[in-house]
């Protein structure tokens, strides 16, 4: 996974699930048409492992299942627009 160095945190931090989920959606899934992109990402399989790899790459300890649950809820409740 190629993460820009400015996004890598040098020490483990505790982040809010919403912040991490939105960051993952924007950077890894794509902020445009995310209501369609997220289900496609999940269909490819091993989404939990990919989120864990992403968390490791940015040096953050967090439960990937919480991020998945947040993104699932977000896709079902929102129109697909950031605003």
Range of the domain at 50: 15-77
Q: What is the 3-state secondary structure (H, E, C) of 16-82?
A: CHHHHHHHHHHHHHHCCCHHHHHHHHHHCCCHHHHHHHHHHHCCECCCHHHHHHHHHHHHHHCCCCC
- Euclidean distance between CA atoms 11 and 64, whole angstroms: 19
The reply to whether 62 falls in a domain is yes
Supply the pLDDT for residue 36: 85
Q: Within 10 A of 37 (CB to CB), how many other CB atoms are there?
A: 17
Whether residue 73 lies inside any domain: the answer is: yes
What pLDDT, in 10s, does the model give residues 21-53? 999 998 888 877 888 889 999 999 999 999 999
C-alpha atoms less than 13 angstroms from C-alpha of 67 in its C-beta half-sphere: 27
* pTM (predicted TM-score): 0.76
Q: What pLDDT shows up at residue 18?
A: 92
Looking at the structure of the chain, the number of domains it has is: 1
On whether residue 2 sits in a domain, the answer given is: no
Q: Is residue 4 part of a domain?
A: no
- Is 45 within the bounds of a domain? yes
């Amino acid at each position: 996974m190629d993460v820009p160095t400015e996004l890598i945190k040098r020490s483990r931090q505790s982040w809010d699930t919403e912040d991490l989920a939105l960051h993952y959606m924007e950077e890894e899934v794509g902020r445009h048409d995310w209501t369609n992109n997220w289900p496609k990402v999940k269909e490819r399989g091993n989404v939990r492992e990919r989120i864990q790899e992403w968390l490791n790459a940015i040096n953050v300890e967090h439960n990937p299942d919480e991020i998945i649950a947040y993104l699932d809820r977000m896709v079902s409740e929102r129109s697909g627009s950031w605003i």
